[in-house]
Amino acid sequence: MNPASIPSTTGHECRVVGSHAELRAAIQAWRAAKQTIGFVPTMGALHAGHLSLVDAARAECDRVVVSIFVNPTQFGPNEDFERYPRNLQADVALLAPRGAELVFAPQPAEIYPPGHATMVEVSGVANPWEGAFRPGHFRGVATVVLKLFNMVAPDVAFFGQKDFQQSLVVRRLVADLNVPVVVRVCPTMREADGLAMSSRTAYLSTEDRRRGLVLSRSLKLATELFAAGERDAHQIMARMRELFVATPGVTIDYLSLADGDTLAEVDRATANTVALIAARVGNVRLIDNCL
């Protein structure tokens, strides 16, 4: 079936558009009718985590726009841009029944036309952790998110807590550049065994998927230690690392207890502490976190 014609449960069609002009025309009619617009930016390969963001947008806004764009500028030269899963038809089939009415699925030249020379650089919260391990990543994210915000002009935008640092970068960008959008961060969706849902888990072999559970297990341990009264962040991190030592085939990029606003590593854990992990399982990189 042509993805452009899949009906949604709201009785509206889930339209797929590729150009900024078509996007603007569709949105202008909604704006004229004083309808609020919820926006879920994605790179496709949708799973239940993305769909929970669409549900949140549907619950809060009159109209829901989803973008599907594998953004080249946020991938490093040795990262998985080429092999990143792409299946627009399957994604739209998932979105239509959830009531997303408009899917913006541009080609790279629509977002980065010839001569494009402006990038957005957030410092501070963008610098440590993912920023240090993936130089240029948040530059690409901030640039595409701002461009998408300018194109869609949503009232509310929805992001997942799984990309905790990304959500802080987006909040910083919105505050610093006076972007008139409310940013909502929604809970991480997990598989029944605790693995955080991610488009990249599709790359994992059965054995690596089992190994990857060490991320959520170590976060669960951190939560349990905190609940039992442990406040020494170094002690909690040491106990988390022990689980990784006992799991061959998983290499930690970083594991930290950090301040939930600044992302600076802390000595004492508080209610505003976030446990952040990135680790490589085989050639797949997984991230996870919990507050």
Residues within the interface to ligand PAF (CB under 6 A)? 41-43, 71, 74, 141, 144-145, 163, 166
Q: Which of 50, 116, 137, 234 is catalytic?
A: 50
Give the Cα separation of 202 and 185 in Å (integer).
24
CB 145, min distance to ligand PAF, A: 6
Give the Cα separation of 279 and 291 in Å (integer).
18
Between 215 and 222, name the residue whose CB sits nearer to ligand PAF.
215
Between 163 and 288, name the residue whose CB sits nearer to ligand PAF.
163
Give the Cα separation of 164 and 6 in Å (integer).
33
CB 124, min distance to ligand PAF, A: 18
**Dihedrals φ, ψ of 286, to 5°?**
-115, 145
Between 162 and 211, name the residue whose CB sits nearer to ligand PAF.
162
Give the Cα separation of 23 and 13 in Å (integer).
14
Between 63 and 139, name the residue whose CB sits nearer to ligand PAF.
139
> Is 234 annotated as catalytic?
no
What six digits make up the tokens of 252? Answer: 């930690």
CB 18, min distance to ligand PAF, A: 16
Give the Cα separation of 289 and 291 in Å (integer).
7
Q: Which residues of 1-11 are buried (b: 16+ CB within 10 A; e: fewer)?
A: eebeebebebe
CB 7, min distance to ligand PAF, A: 25
Residues designated catalytic: 50
